[in-house]
Every structure is written in structure tokens, then in C-alpha cells.
Amino acid sequence: MKTDLSPRLRVALYGLMCVLLIPFVFPTWWMVTSSIKPISDIFAFPPQLIPQNYDWTTYSKVFELQPFVQQYWNSAYIAAVVTIGTMVVSSMAGYAFARIRFPYADTIFMIVLLGLLIPSEVTIVPLFQMFLKAGMVNTHWPLILVPIFGAPSVFVTFVMRQFFVTLPAELEEAARVDGLGRFKIFRKIALPLAKPALASVAIFTFLHSWNLFLEPIVFLSSADKFTLPQALTQYTDAYGGPMWNIQLAAATLTALPVLIVFIIAQKQFVEGLAHTGLKG
Amino acid sequence: MAVAHQHHETPKAGTPPPFWTIARRDSLAGFLFIAPQLIGIITFVLVPLGLVFWYSLHEWNVLANTFTFTGSQNYRMVLEDTNLLEVLGATTIFSVGLVVLNLSLALLLAVLLNQKLAGIAVFRALFFSPVVVSLVAWTIVWGFLLQKNGGINGMLLMVGIEGPNWLREDVTAMISVIVVQVFKNVGLNMILFLAALQGVPKELYEAARIDGAPAFKQFRRITLPLISPTILLTSIITIVGSLQVFAQIAVLTQGGPGLSTTVLVYYLYQQAFQFDYFGYGSTLSILLFVIVAVLTFAQWQMRKRIVFYEN
């Protein structure tokens, strides 16, 4: 299939890809540009692909109407803690399932894999009741503990196990002869080699936490506890209708930092995903 | 985990063999390594799964604070709930539409990105970019675009077409929520397909060309069979993922108009957390669990028939 393409085919392919790109790229452009238009222009006809007038006060309203800085911090620190915690829990479990022989390892692995089969939506009702009893409703604990230890981390454990299985046994043998214990072998030998795999699962763990929506709206009830996805939907007028320009400004502030990181490190994002044992 | 590696002094001659043999130390280390994950799965998955089943056998009145055992009553309600029929219909249309559209678009994009063209990495990054855009931000801007007087209808009007009120009419609302979700996440499957395509040995195509097989036939006879494990994997991930879609529905349509976009997860959320029917909500959770389990099992069974080879 990979041949030298004729110039005409080349142009056709570029043309096709550019058309296909529109629904992928245009919404982001429309979000950013509409957020800086005055409210009178955002539904203007014909649509203004490039803003004619600017109104930056929308952005200050984002911060006036809600504790947006606090909400930003909530999302950021929760996602960071979840990412680090998941890396620790899942790389250790993945390592043990791949490299350590211990009784009932296969049975325990099957039990853990059950987490893949049970979407967190299935258990949201009892989880709410459990956290209610524990006095942790309207705190960030459910958003931190469940992803790190529960079902969402199982996928990461699985990916890490697939990675550690491929490590050559000789590496560890040599370390054992030198008298290193299991934890040191894991920490000093296996983990450094796992950096690329860890980096890509870290990206997706972060995004997963950053995007959580059902859990925050179930568990959190006060504005200063909200995470970003939840906060974005709260910019509504007296009738419950969205205040579009403010929502779009807040959405832009939410989306742009991650997009910028992605642009800088897109190779790691894309190739990491492809090489993380996800291949069929 | 600190205990595991403190015992590596060598045994002295004449002393009995130490209790901490390598095998024992490994067993302990193994248990300690997996303990956080195992305890987590028990606490946050298995116990809640047991509880959700227990709740589903009860009538739970939050206001009166009563919790009465009613056996299979909630399950009979599932059978009699006419709304649920509509919900399951919407869930089916949503999931099937999503999977078909997502996988075909992902495959098309992967084939395009697999061509030798200058600047292909830029295209790859752009097609992938919605994956990293915050889900609710993405949904909000699409909701904005799909308003009656929004950007999409504005552009349609410029070419003389009066667009529908996308999110307020049954059919277009369903199409909208599917399409918004497809563009958001198709990049993931696209990359997995691209990796699979690049794993197909080039010699096979060479040989086929020498035999005079046209491009389409090469695709059907070589490419598709060889990437079938990836197709299966992505279809499982995508279909299970489609059953978990919640934010898009909550932001775009709130399940409406009527029940036309109320998928099972959204219905479950409404019953449990908006109407406080925790018992019935739990029964719906069990239903969701059974659907996911059956689908996953069926797809792994299909692997034996459809997948051409496996690594």
C-alpha cells in the first residue's frame, strides 16, 4: 500500500484530510474565538470565523461568578495525586504479577481484572453510600481513592504487567546475585526501564481524572469543592440557560493548558499510546 | 514493602536453614506489592458490587429513611418499566451508531495517515487533538455550535439551507450526541489502527502487487485479516466505553427530547441521584453490569471465529 504516490493522488489525499480535519479542529478554534467576542456577536449571522470585536471582560466574569481559581486547583491537584498514586500502586502490582512467583498469583490477577469488567458507573450507588457513611461526601477523597485503588487503576496495572513481562530475566538474576531484595530490584532496575510505559499511562491517567464528570456531580455539592468539568456547566443564567460566552471562556481556560502541553509533547502522547502494550 | 528486603544476610555454617528462604521472601514481597491494588479492588469494586446487588433487592425510601426487603420487586419493575424499553432502545442506537462510526472513521484516518506524505505527523496530531481537550469543554463548544442559531446552522444558512434545531429533535439529537463523542475520541482508535497497519509486513503487499491484486482487494485480503486483533480490541473498548457515556448526554441534551437520548447510565443517574430511587437505581446498575459482562464475553468468544491470527 505504501508506494510512491502520483502527484494527483497526493493532492487528493491532502484535500481529503483537510476536509476531514474540520470537525476535529474547528470546534477548538470556535471555542477560543467565540470566548473573546462580545455577547452580541457570538450568534451573529453570518458567523464570524475571525472575531470582529473583542470583549475581554468575559474572562474576568469567569473568576467573579465562581471560585474558578480554587476549582482549577482542585482539578489539577486531584489529577496529579491520582496520577502519582496510580503509578505507584499499579506499577508495583503489575511488576508482582509479571515477575514474582507467589501463591494464588493467577487467582488474584483474575480477581483484579474483574475491575476491567465492572465500569465505575455500576458501583456509583453503593460507593456514594459508603462514602456517605464515612463522612467523605463533599470531600475530594472519593475522586482520589477510587481511581487510585479501584477499577480505573486496573487497566494501568494490566498495561504495566504486559510491559514487565517483556523484561529479560537475566537483569534480575544478576541483581539477585548481588544480594538485592525484591523492592530494590523493582525500584532500581525494573522501574527505570519502565519509564516510557509509565509516561504514557501517566498521561492517560491524568486525562481520565481531569475529565471525570459523573463522580464529581455525585459526590460534590459546594462550589469551592467543584472540579473544572463540573464548574463549567454552572455558568448559567437565572433561567438555567448557559451563559455561552462565559462558559466558552472557562472552557478555553480549561482546555488550552493541556492542548499546549500536547502540542509540545505530541510525539510522546501519540507514540506512547501506540506502544503501551495496547497493540492487538 | 520495607520488610521484604531486610533479610538478605547469608546463613552461617552450621545454623539451621533460615526461615526466610528466597521463595518465602518472594511470596511475601509479591503479596506486599499487590496488596494496595487487591485491597482497593475488594473495597471499591467487589464490596460495592455485592452491595449494589443487596440494594437492588430492597425498596429504599430516602425521605422516610426506610430500607425494606422486597426481593425481586425491583426486577419485576425493570420488566414493567416502559420508559426503560425506550432507554434501552436509545442505548442500543447510541452504542451501535457510535461503534460503527468510530471504527470506520478510525480505520479510514489510519489508512490515510499510513501514506508516505510530507507533514503527515502534523495531521496525525491534529486528528488526535480532541482526545486531550477537556471532555466537558469539547461538549460545551459543540452544544454551542449546535444551537438553533449556532455556528453550524449559520454556515448552513450561508449556502441556503435552514438547519434543524439539532439538540431539540429526536433524530438529530441522537445523531449529535453520537457525532460529538466520535470526534472527541476517534483519535485513540485511529492511533491503535495506525500502529497495527504499520505492523503489517510490506512484503505481503509487494507479493500481492506482483500478482496484480488491486488496492481494494489487498486491503480486504491482507490488511483487514492482519489487523483483526486490533479491530476486536478497539471494538470491545469502544462498545464498553459507549455504555459509560454520561457527561455528553448531561451537557448536550439531558436525555431529551423526551427520552430519545436517555442512555442507560444517564437513566441510572436520574433514578438514583435525582429521584432518590436508590433501590431501583441499583437494579439498573446490575442491568448495566450484566450487559457489559455479556458483551465482553461475546466479543472474546467471537475472537476465535473472526480474528485471523494473534500474537
Report CA-CA distances (Å) from A119 to A150, A218, B186.
Answer: 10, 16, 20
Q: What would you report as the CA-atom Rg of chain A, rounded to the nearest whole angstrom?
A: 24
pLDDT band at B1 (very low <50, low <70, confident <90, very high): very low
Task: Calculate the CA dihedral of residues B226, B230, B232, B235 and round it to 10 degrees.
Answer: -140
Report CA A242 to chain centroid distance, whole Å.
25
Dist CA A62 CA A59 (whole Å)? 5
Cell of B110: 489510519
Judge: B126–A255 Cβ closer than 8 Å, yes or no: no
Judge: A115–B150 Cβ closer than 8 Å, yes or no: no
Suggest the residue from A118, A131, A158, A227 to mutate for an interface test with chain B (most B CBs closer than 10 A). Answer: A118
Kindly report the backbone phi and psi dihedral angles of residue B67, in degrees, each rounded to the nearest multiple of 5, phi listed first.
-140, 95
Do B48 and B9 share a structural domain?
yes
Q: Considering only A83-92, A163-172, B270-279, which range has the smallest mean pLDDT?
A: A163-172
Do B110 and B36 share a structural domain?
no
Judge: B136–A211 Cβ closer than 8 Å, yes or no: yes
Taking the Cβ of residue B25 and every Cβ of chain A, the question of whether any pair is shorter than 8 Å is answered with yes
pLDDT band at A280 (very low <50, low <70, confident <90, very high): very low
Query: Which distant-in-sequence residues (6+ apart) come within 8 Å of A256 by Cβ?
Result: A32
Q: What residue in B sits closest to A110 (Cα-Cα)?
A: B38
CATH number at residue B301: 1.10.3720.10
pLDDT in tens, B263-301: 999 999 999 999 888 899 999 999 999 999 998 888 878
Residue A181's pLDDT is what?
A: 82
Dist CA B45 CA B291 (whole Å)? 17
Judge: A149–B8 Cβ closer than 8 Å, yes or no: no
Across chain B, the runs of DSSP E, i.e. the strands, are: 58-61, 66-69
Mean pLDDT in residue range A212-228: 93
Dist CA A243 CA A221 (whole Å)? 21
Is there a domain that residue B268 lies in? yes
Do B285 and B174 share a structural domain?
yes
Distance from CA of A15 to the nearest CA of B (A): 11
Taking the Cβ of residue B161 and every Cβ of chain A, the question of whether any pair is shorter than 8 Å is answered with no
- Residues of A with Cβ-Cβ distance to B154 under 8 angstroms: 43, 45-47
Cell of B67: 430500607
Do B214 and B84 share a structural domain?
yes
- Residues of B with Cβ-Cβ distance to A137 under 8 angstroms: none
- The answer to whether residues A220 and A144 touch, using CB atoms and an 8 Å cutoff, is no
Do B178 and B42 share a structural domain?
no
Suggest the residue from B7, B32, B44, B280 to mutate for an interface test with chain A (most A CBs closer than 10 A). Answer: B44
Dist CA B280 CA B262 (whole Å)? 16
Across B123-264, the runs of DSSP E, i.e. the strands, are: none
- The answer to whether residues B43 and B51 touch, using CB atoms and an 8 Å cutoff, is no
Dist CA B281 CA B81 (whole Å)? 13
Suggest the residue from B91, B141, B300, B310 to mutate for an interface test with chain A (most A CBs closer than 10 A). Answer: B141
pLDDT in tens, A109-135: 998 988 888 888 899 999 999 999 999
Is there a domain that residue B62 lies in? no
Q: Is B296 exposed, middle or buried (0-12, 13-18, 19+ CB in 10 A)?
A: middle
Beta-bridged to residue A242, according to DSSP, are A236
How many structural domains comprise chain B?
2
Do B294 and B227 share a structural domain?
yes
Do B87 and B8 share a structural domain?
no
Do B14 and B91 share a structural domain?
no
Dist CA A117 CA B105 (whole Å)? 26
Is there a domain that residue B66 lies in? no
Is residue A144's pLDDT more than 90? yes
Do B137 and B29 share a structural domain?
no
Do B119 and B175 share a structural domain?
yes
- Name the residue among A5, A46, A179 with its Cβ closest to that of B115: A5
Distance from CA of A256 to the nearest CA of B (A): 8
Q: How many CB pairs under 8 A join A and B?
A: 343
Q: Which CATH architecture has domain A67-274?
A: Orthogonal Bundle (1.10)
Residue B24's pLDDT is what?
A: 84
Suggest the residue from B3, B32, B45, B284 to mutate for an interface test with chain A (most A CBs closer than 10 A). Answer: B45
**DSSP-derived secondary structure letter, A48:** -
User: What end-to-end distance do the CA atoms of chain B give, in Å?
Assistant: 35
Helix, strand and coil content of chain B, in percent to the nearest 5, comes to: 70, 5, 25
Dist CA A136 CA B238 (whole Å)? 32
Is there a domain that residue B311 lies in? no
- Residues of A with Cβ-Cβ distance to B202 under 8 angstroms: 2
Distance from CA of B137 to the nearest CA of A (A): 5
Do B148 and B182 share a structural domain?
yes
Mean pLDDT in residue range B75-79: 88
Domain ranges for chain A = 67-274
Per the structure, the complete domain to which residue B30 belongs is given by 3-56
- Residues of B with Cβ-Cβ distance to A122 under 8 angstroms: 49, 52, 285-286, 288-289, 292
Residue A49's pLDDT is what?
A: 83
Hey, how many other C-beta atoms are within 10 angstroms of the C-beta on A243? Answer: 18
Do B183 and B124 share a structural domain?
yes
- Residues of A with Cβ-Cβ distance to B74 under 8 angstroms: none
